[in-house]
Chain A
Amino acid sequence: MWDYTDKVNDHFKNPRNVGKIENPDGTGEVGSLACGDALKLMFKLDDQGRIKEAKFQTFGCASAIASSSALTEMIIGKTLDEVEKITNKDIAEYLGGLPKQKVHCSVMGREALEAAIYNYRTGKKWDKELEGEVVCHCFGVTDKEIERVTRENNIQTLEALTNTCKAGGGCGNCLPDLQKIIDRVHGEMAVAGVAVPDKKVLTNLQRIHLIEDVIDREIRPALRQDGGDLELIDVDGNTVKVRFRGACSGCVVSAITLKDVVEARLKDNVSDDIRVEEVK
């Protein structure tokens, strides 16, 4: 059973803006029967260039229907310049989050939007192969799409990539190529000065656990050799507050221990921006 949010369930069971528009200004069609989900999005603009009407039709599971419904709510009343900035993450967040295996439903929404805008601007039918080269043939995902979702979702692993855009979820032959694309995007992001965490991205809770773990495993045994000890008091953002115990408390070189041992180990193991403060 999926752990869908109330908002996903609501948009699935009471989808908004279902149907078609007569003479739409833009139409975007993505997905297929064979892929297991598909979305047709249509919109009409008012004289100020704002979307006054948006309708959708979706073949797919609950989260695909909910993502489509949410998307129409998100774009009505906005200009195309505004809606162009919507990412799949925005759609997922609007729904209060999606199970990680269902993130691709939000990507389908964003793709349909892109396709509809393309259709409005060029009068042509959008075809993802216009944009790039198909890398995953099972699900027809192009290199451009893979690059985009990797960047926008800060994708670190192949599994996360498959959950996000389906690439690699079929026969698996393309997995080495996908890894190359992920690596390339990370390289470009690093050159552009975007922080790509070389250490795993952690939630706050995971970070606190890791800090505790490093203190227990690496730091305290070293201090105990000299009859000292350390207690973790608090973690506040990047600042780790500790209190020295035993021989360390009142030791004249405790400030050096703090920087050279405690902070250095945490920087090595957790993240480079950790600062350690002593609580007396």
Chain B
Amino acid sequence: MRTVYLDNNATTKIADEVRDAMMPFLTDLWGNPSSMHTFGGQVKKYIEAAREQVAALIGAEDPQEITFTSCGSESNNLAIRGGAEAMDKPPHVITSKVEHAAVSGPCHYLEDRGFRLTKIDVDQLGRLDIDALRREVKTSKTLTSIMWANNETGVIFPVGLIGEMVHEAGGIFHTDAVQTVGKIPMKVSDLPIDMLSLSGHKLHAPKGVGAIYIRRGTKVKPLILGGHQERGRRAGTENVPYIVGLGVACNLAGKRLSEENTRVKALRDRLEQGVLATCPGARVNGDPKSRLPNTTNISFDFIEGEAILLMLDDHGICASTGSACASGSLEPSHVLRAMNVAGVSVHGSIRFSLSTYNTDEDVDAVLTELPKVVKRLRELSPFVV
């Protein structure tokens, strides 16, 4: 059975180019970049090349503003815990209600240790309540962490505006851009962003590598203490093969940015419109005017997400759901709840997230199978007359 992979916001295929670039560092070039001898030391330049590639993709002025980490979660933890602890006095921590757990986790960690935490609401389209944010950020020097784009709905937040508001009161602004980097063009040096997190496996590098942009002059207390690697910001011998892989993946993502926003976006739009046309009682969650080009989140009235997913799975179609049942908790996705998605459809949401590896054939497969699955589950549902 052919795999139709439409779950790229969860993880992505490792690009062949990335794997090939990593191989020498898993075979011959296994030296320690900190070594004095040529065999080890020669590896260092590949790390620096990767740093430049990451900086280029996000538009950082200086590659030294990039620190490699083990994953997006580590980057978020470093920014929030390390950022808050490096500030002169404990800041008011501000975040949104729709963050990934890798941001809300460290925010709650700070709250448990006496920091004041405020979580900003979103509206029914998943847009941030900017007025509420403005009221909160202007009172003091805050540490504000707001995602660039939401992983479940793809809704993009106005990070430029948010950063300006935070900076006006002297605060620090971090953005979790794990879902955004490589999907939309960005030039972080021109934006009021102090820290930005990204993750390798969301852009066709392997799992186990991430990076954080820390604008020159921003103070961060390291989480991992020890050696002088990454200019003391992150101790530990560098994960050379994966860092090289991340660099190549960023380079590739830069080249594919326009394709992402044209061909991939067109595939997503065809998928979304096709589903809405063929499945009655389907509705899109999230602001259609400001969304990542690869993501669509669709709710189906009166049926439940896990059941939809498992039936799609029978046809090799991979997607994900915000349904409570799929996660093992009893509550549906915190993002859809924050958006007040209607009770008839909050348990029936499916997220499709595409990448450059998707084809028209993949979209056709969903448009063939999904209407049958929806019909079948509706026949089972007591709420459909």
Contact = CB atoms under 8 A, between A and B. Distances in A.
B344 interface: yes
Interface string B327-352: 01111100000000001100100000
Contacts of A18: 379-380
B344 A33 contact: yes
Nearest to A169: B330
Pick the most buried of A36, A99, A162: most chain B CB atoms within 10 A of its CB: A36
B68 to A, nearest CB: 31
B381 interface: yes
Interface residues on B, range: 20 to 34
Interface stretch (B44-52, B157-165, B217-225, B306-314): B306-314
B382 interface: yes
Given A12-B310, A166-B330, A169-B329, A60 B304 contact: yes
B117 interface: no
Interface string A166-182: 10011000000000000
A107 interface: no
Contact of B347 (A33, A62, A63, A166): A33
A162 B302 CA distance: 24
B303 interface: yes
B323 interface: yes
A37 B302 contact: no
A40 interface: yes
Contacts of A99: 328
Contacts of A57: 380-382
A99 B326 CA distance: 12
A61 B307 contact: yes
B382 A169 contact: no
Given A12-B310, A13-B314, A37-B325, A59 B330 contact: no
A92 interface: no
11 contacts: A12-B310, A13-B311, A33-B344, A36-B323, A36-B324, A58-B382, A61-B323, A62-B307, A102-B325, A170-B330, A170-B331
Interface of B: 302-307, 310-311, 314, 323-326, 328-332, 343-344, 347, 379-383
Interface of A: 12-13, 15, 18, 29, 33-34, 36-40, 57-65, 99, 101-102, 104, 139, 162, 166, 169-170
Interchain residue pairs A-B with the least CB separation, the first 9: A169-B330, A61-B325, A57-B382, A40-B382, A61-B306, A101-B328, A34-B343, A36-B347, A59-B381
